[in-house]
Structure 1
Amino acid sequence: MSGITYVRGDATAPQGKGVKVIAHVCNDLGGWGKGFVLALSRRWPEPEAAYRRWHRERAGNDFGLGAVQFVQVGMYLWVANMVGQRGMRRGSKGVPVRYEAIDAALGAVAVRAGELGASVHMPRIGCGLAGGTWARVEPLIERRLISVGLPVTVYDHD
């Protein structure tokens, strides 16, 4: 049995009290314009602006698969831009999702959420446009977040 709480709702409006981190997957090309990121941008401009700047200035920072950028969007609310997909299109090399990058990024989210005393909230990361399967992603969340005692809520949008 998973320690993840599953709810119907909007991951950009996380439930509960206290500090929260909304985690989601981004691509490694600097593209932001489809899927869950649109919901984030409708609510806050900062995560997109920070991600685009992070990508643009990548020669001098850690931008790349497995990296995470934390953007504060409220007094008790952060967005974790996790680079977990190679490119944006399915093709001869398969789907864009990179499970090892999501795993590494979740490790960084675990550290930051622990420092903040935060719960972690997310859609089914890596399973939309990135083409991943929840059967592969869920164990990563359990190993990286649940096993260290972090509360995790996964939102299935209506």
Structure 2
Amino acid sequence: MSGITYVRGDATAPQGKGVKIIAHVCNDLGGWGKGFVVAVSRRWVEPEKEYRRWHRERAKNDFGLGAAQFVQVERLVWVADLVGQRGMRTGRSSGVPVRYEAIDTALGRLAGKAEELGASVHMPRIGCGLAGGTWARVEPLVVQRLTAREIPVTVYDFGA
């Protein structure tokens, strides 16, 4: 048993009580505008603005593979940008952009923030959309980094 709760729904409308962190994987190029982040930006402007600032000022901060940024968007809701994707897939790309080691490192940072806030974590199947990863590789990282530390995790599959 993974300890992860799977539901159908929208990860930008997390279920449950208390503090919630919505986690997603982003790239290391500063690109924002496809995939799950479109839904995030429809709901809140702050995550995109802060991600772009974080990337723009990367010479003076920790932006890069494995990094995590946390943006509070409501009193009880945060968005976690987990940098777990090298570049973006293009028509000329060989291989996939997902970097499992970076996702693992960023999930460790997420765990620390979730413990600090007493928060549950909510996410789509991170790293498995535009990043090209597989849930069979990501799920064990989520289990090891989050549910093994008794952090409640809900994974949302969009749809009816």
**TM-score bracket for this pair, using the shorter chain length:** over 0.9
2:137 corresponds to: 136
User: TM-score under structure 1 normalisation?
Assistant: 0.98
- Confirm whether residue 12 of structure 1 aligns to residue 18 of structure 2: no
The one-letter amino acid paired with 2:66 is G
Note the residue ranges of structure 2 that are not aligned, 5 or more in a row: none
Matches of 1:150 and 1:69 in 2, distance apart? 18
Query: How big is the alpha-carbon RMSD for the aligned residues of Structure 1 and Structure 2?
Result: 0.6
Note the residue ranges of structure 1 that are not aligned, 5 or more in a row: none
- 1:87-144 CA distances to partner (integer Å, 9 max, x unpaired)? 011522x100000000000000000000100000000000000000000000000000
1:113 corresponds to: 114
- Confirm whether residue 100 of structure 1 aligns to residue 101 of structure 2: yes
- 1:35-56 CA distances to partner (integer Å, 9 max, x unpaired)? 0000000000000000000000
Runs (4 or more) in structure 1 with deviation over 4 Å come to none
Structure 1 residue 2, shift from structure 2 partner = 1.4
Matches of 2:112 and 2:2 in 1, distance apart? 21
Matches of 2:5 and 2:115 in 1, distance apart? 18
The one-letter amino acid paired with 1:155 is Y
User: TM-score under structure 2 normalisation?
Assistant: 0.97
Matches of 1:135 and 1:45 in 2, distance apart? 32
The one-letter amino acid paired with 1:104 is T
2:123 corresponds to: 122
Please state whether the residue corresponding to 1:153 is helix, strand or coil.
strand
- Confirm whether residue 63 of structure 1 aligns to residue 63 of structure 2: yes
2:37 corresponds to: 37
The one-letter amino acid paired with 2:133 is G
Matches of 2:153 and 2:88 in 1, distance apart? 26
Matches of 1:129 and 1:25 in 2, distance apart? 9
Please state whether the residue corresponding to 1:10 is helix, strand or coil.
coil
Please state whether the residue corresponding to 2:21 is helix, strand or coil.
strand
2:24 corresponds to: 24
